[in-house]
Structures are given as structure tokens and as C-alpha cells.
Structure 1
């Protein structure tokens, strides 16, 4: 099956454009500069995003692999006002995802006690894929930040100066736009590196919220249409050009304890997440972490996540921000 993909491009003279890719062919869409602009057009016209893209006609052909290598592909969604793009996610959503988390706080439990993580995973396994019209089990949920924390497919992932760790999380992310009537529209899904501080989380699982307040990266392609039921990819870490860790990962509903619909319902049931014009990037979770294999990342390491049917990876170098002490002043 061939999937349509939308990409955002920034030329050397800072001109933005949107690219439509199908198979190995790709061309610029005339008259549109952002995916958000195109999505608003599709909503206004009552068409799908794919139909709106095809309706733009065809501009010049473009080699997306070459543009990726040159660093000219952006994240496939953004907002000119970063405060109107929210990044959130769900955890313990994939078959096998409880194992690593469970280890993090099992030492605090007796041999007969089921940890909170395992209990949440089992509840999702039982009720995370409800029948149509039924309410399913709500997942673990977390907030990552606004659009200022979203980085492109080849930009560095920068952990704060105080971070204990910077670790990859290879997964899929849903991209949504809220219509003028408050309706959430799924524009598509993107390959993602959710990026977290697993050392902080391991210290106390109640610090999960702190560990998630980090940047995140999206691959360059927004996959349109139905989400594939089975996605199989590879997550690797390169150090000085050499692969030091590599492992396959699975996603898609066939490999999950929750349906996408259930995860979406439990996110958008909150009024504050249905504010007209806002964008949402919602990370669906993973079961594969180098941290679970005792890998200690270092500044300069490159995280690379790839998976079909995406044709390009998300590849980001790990960096650490300079210390910036905060002084709170009373007025």
C-alpha cells in the first residue's frame, strides 16, 4: 500500500513550502506554505487533507532524501504561535511496555504486590480497546510542553542542564487540529522520538511528570489516512559514527493494548484541549528503550528512528543546555 505524506520545507533563502510525497515521487504544492494552512483549507472546503493537497496541483519535483540530508526538512507540523501547539502523550499503551516501567519501582513493592505500573497496564489490556460507542479504560497521560519544545527531524535534542539523562523513545505521534467548532481533526501520524529523562523517572515513578518535560522530535513525514495497524521499525544509537545499540520496535494497534480511538477520546474529552485553532501532537507510547538495556547515553550520541511506511528517519544528536539559574523575584 502506498501512503501519501506531507512534508514541510525551508529553502536556503528561508522560503517555506509544503511537499506532497507518494511512493518515491514528491513535488511542491503551489500556493501553500504550511501544513496547518492546508488543513484549515480542507476543513473549510469539507474535504480530506489528501484531497486538499491534490487540489493544489503540482509544482516542481523535489528529492526529499536529498533535502533531508541537507537539513532543509522541518517538523511536519508547527504553529506560528508556539503556545497554540500542545505536546502530550500516553504511556503503558504497548504490549510489553510494562516490563521496563515495572522494574523501575518493583523494589518498593512486596513479592505479592502488583505495582501501579503493572496494574495500569493490565487495566489497559483489559479495557483499552472498547467496542464502538463504549467508553474504554483511560491510559496514563502526561504533558511534554508547547510548540517551543518541538524540534525538527535533524535538529539536536537538548536536555536541560539539570537533567540526569537524555534517552530516546521511538514511537508514533498523532497530529491534530481543532476546528472552529471545537472538533478535533486528526491530520495524520508522524514518526517520533519522544525523548525523556529515564534516570529521573527511575528514582521515583511519581517524578514521571518531571521526566517528560523535555523536547521531542518528529520525523519529516506526516502520514495521511488511516493509521497502519502494524508498524515495525528500528531504533539505534550512534556514537562517533558507530552503532552502539540497535533494536527493533513495534507500534500500530496490532501491537498495542489501547486503540488509537480510545487514546484520542481520553485526551480530547477535556474542554481545554478543544480550543479552536490549536494544534496537538500526541505521542502514543513505546515498548522499546535503550535505557532498559542499561545503555548510558552521552552528549554527541545520535538517536536514529526509522520505520516503514515512512521513507525517512528522525535523526537527532543529543546535546545539553547551558546552566541557566532561575531567580524568582517578589513584586
Structure 2
């Protein structure tokens, strides 16, 4: 099932099921978070709960996207109760890149010159796909922010004026709600742009945490159920309407060195990440960046990410904004 959140003709937030070129509105819920909590309480799947609430009203899907009325597919009424996080060094890339990476790992291991990042990647290659129900290698993990940093499809990705770069990261995102007993419930998956500052990160890997504290985008759609193991998408950058960079990208477990179950375990093993009612948006990583090809995005450029299995593309323009804070801005009480 493909679910979205949208604003109806009266401006209210509604949940819709995509049926071809139309969206069927659900009755009795004003968010996918509310739908998920109802499903948990009733002991039903998200699909079954949505089916019980299918209404008679339908809206054309394309105009909703065009008019900016489609919201991100999951939010918490209180943004502080939405945790946005991610894992890196999780993807193998293309077959050619994979072979080159394995050769480089082997050579550096023999020479004793493995960097910390490459060593962590090697741990994933060797132990990131454990048997189901067992823990494998621990991945890189990072914090992006709370629900305030998530922008809707079509809205600008705001880069603070102190940033050294603002570049896309096309990724698969897991969407979760924590049940009343502390059990994480995966609602499904969505496209994501885990927008980051790659110049800052390249200065020193210890600046990774700084580089990730940026806005991001998720959606437009939430896909329920299992995913194909091999997902192939396209990431592109448009400038003044013309494509200035485009590249395919691979994701899904067939193209990763960690299983999704292993990444989920290492995120939710922390009790603080299992607080009842909370929402989690977790980015699973990528191996494709325009920055890696020497491309620098400019204000007004539009990032566009698509994977056919995840529905409509995710497009967001880049906007540079004042940080709103200066040195000496802290007041003593």
C-alpha cells in the first residue's frame, strides 16, 4: 500500500491511499501517526487499519503534488518527539565499485594503512549481514535532529549561511512508531534526501556530527510491506530547469553490507530510542553523491530523487538562509 499525508481543500491534514492517479482519503484519522497508533491498539496491520477507514472522497494526485499540498509521510504532533537519525558506510555501490573497494580493503589491510572509516566499512562487509535474530557488526550512526528539520516534498532544503556546502544524499528511509509497551513498529519505507555539508565532513571525519545537523526531506509516499532486495533509482540536480548532473544509485539489501534488521537493531537497542509514542525517521545510507563527482549545488538548484517502487519522486530546491545566531549570542542569567 502507498500512503501519503496531505492538506485537503479546507487546509486540514488528511491521510490518503494512492489508487492509480487518485488519492482516496481515509476517515477518522488526521495523520499516519494516528493511523499507526490505531492499528497498534487494534492489533491490526497498517494496511488493514487503512482499509477499514477508506472513505468515499478521492482527489487527483498530480495536482496535490504540483500545488505543494503533499506533506511528509510521517510526523509527530510534537516535533520534539520525532527523532531523525541515520547510518553511514552501509552501501557497496555498483559491482565495479564493489570489486575496487574489496581490492582496496585487502591492500590497505595488508599494508596496515586502513583508515577508521575504511575499517568500519570492512566490519560491515564482514559482519553486517548476520543470521536473522542475531546481532551483527555495529554501523556508523549519527543524529540529524528532531521533527523540526524535516521539510515537505517540494519545500526548500534550508542551508545555514555558515555551511561550507549543501548537497543531496539519496537514501531509503525507515519510518517507525514506538508502541505503548516500547516495541518499535516499522510502518514502511520512503524516499529521503539526507541533505548534508560534505565540505565540512571532508575537513575531518570527526566533523561528521556537525555536517549532519541540517534539514532533510522524506516522501512523498510511505510504502508498506517488504521491499525488493535490489532497488535502483536515479538522483539528479536541476539548474534553471536543466539537468546538470544525473546518476543512478543502488539501495536495498542486495546492494548493502548491512541488513536492514541489523541496522534497526543497533538503533533501537538503546532504551531512549524506545519511548512510547515517539516517531523515528532513520536514513539507511547511500553510495552516490553529486559532491563526489565534483558538483557543487547552488541556491535555487533542485534535487530530485526517484525509485519507481517508492512512487512519486522527491524534489526539493536548495535555499541558503541566515543562521540567526552570532558569536556572543548566549546570555548569562
Given the two structures, how large is their TM-score scaled by the length of structure 2? 0.92
Give yes or no for the alignment of 1:61 onto 2:58: yes
Contact 1:65 1:312 in 2 (8 A): no
Cα-to-partner distance string for 1:196-232 (whole Å, 9 max, x where unaligned):
0000001111100000001110121000011221211
Could you tell me which runs of 5 or more consecutive residues in structure 1 were left unpaired when the two chains were aligned. Answer: 102-110
The 10-residue stretch of structure 1 (23-32 or 33-42) with the greater mean CA deviation from structure 2: 23-32
- Partners of 2:55 and 2:165 in 1: CA distance: 45
The 10-residue stretch of structure 1 (130-139 or 181-190) with the greater mean CA deviation from structure 2: 130-139
Query: Shift of the alpha carbon at 1:96?
Result: 3.2
RMSD across aligned positions (CA): 2.0
Partner-residue secondary structure (3-state), 1:52 = helix
Correspondence for 1:120: 120
Runs of 4+ with >2 A deviation: 22-26, 96-99
- Partners of 2:219 and 2:35 in 1: CA distance: 19
Correspondence for 2:330: 328
Correspondence for 2:161: 161
Query: Shift of the alpha carbon at 1:15?
Result: 1.2
- Partners of 2:24 and 2:54 in 1: CA distance: 9
Q: How does 1:276-315 map to 2 (within 5 A)?
A: 276-315=276-315
Correspondence for 1:39: 36
Query: Shift of the alpha carbon at 1:126?
Result: 0.8
- Partners of 2:56 and 2:88 in 1: CA distance: 41
Give yes or no for the alignment of 1:234 onto 2:234: yes
- Partners of 1:12 and 1:167 in 2: CA distance: 34
Could you tell me which runs of 5 or more consecutive residues in structure 2 were left unpaired when the two chains were aligned. Answer: 102-110
Partner-residue secondary structure (3-state), 2:235 = strand
Correspondence for 2:17: 20
Partner-residue secondary structure (3-state), 2:280 = strand
Partner-residue secondary structure (3-state), 1:59 = strand
Given the two structures, how large is their TM-score scaled by the length of structure 1? 0.93
Contact 2:170 2:305 in 1 (8 A): yes
- Partners of 1:40 and 1:28 in 2: CA distance: 18
2:46 to 42, 49, 53: 49
Partner-residue secondary structure (3-state), 1:40 = helix
Contact 1:171 1:194 in 2 (8 A): yes
Q: How does 1:240-259 map to 2 (within 5 A)?
A: 240-259=240-259
Partner-residue secondary structure (3-state), 1:90 = strand
- Report the number of matched residues: 321
Correspondence for 1:219: 219
Query: Shift of the alpha carbon at 1:25?
Result: 4.8
Cα-to-partner distance string for 1:266-302 (whole Å, 9 max, x where unaligned):
0000000000000000000000000000001111110
